[in-house]
Amino acid sequence: MHHQTDTLHPSEYFSVFPTCIGMYDIKGYHPAEEPKTMSLIQNEQPTDVLDTLPLLKKSINDCIKAYTNEYGVDYHEVNESFYEVIESGKGVDSKSYDNSLFVGYYFPIAIKESIDLILEQPYKNPIAAPADKSVSIYTAPSEKFIIDTGRCIITPAHLVRYITPNKSAKPVNMITFTTKVVDIEKITFND
| Mean of pLDDT over the chain | 83
In a domain, 109, yes or no: yes
Residues 6 or more apart from 59 whose CB is under 8 A from it? 26, 29, 30
pLDDT at site 3:
47
Q: How many domains does one find in the chain? A: 1
Regions of the chain where pLDDT drops below 50? 1-4, 191
For residue 167, give the CATH number of its domain.
2.60.120.620
Let me know if residue 107 belongs to a domain: yes
- 3 found inside a domain: no
Q: What is the pLDDT of residue 155?
A: 94
- Structural domain for 27, as ranges: 19-122+136-186
* 5 within domain boundaries: no
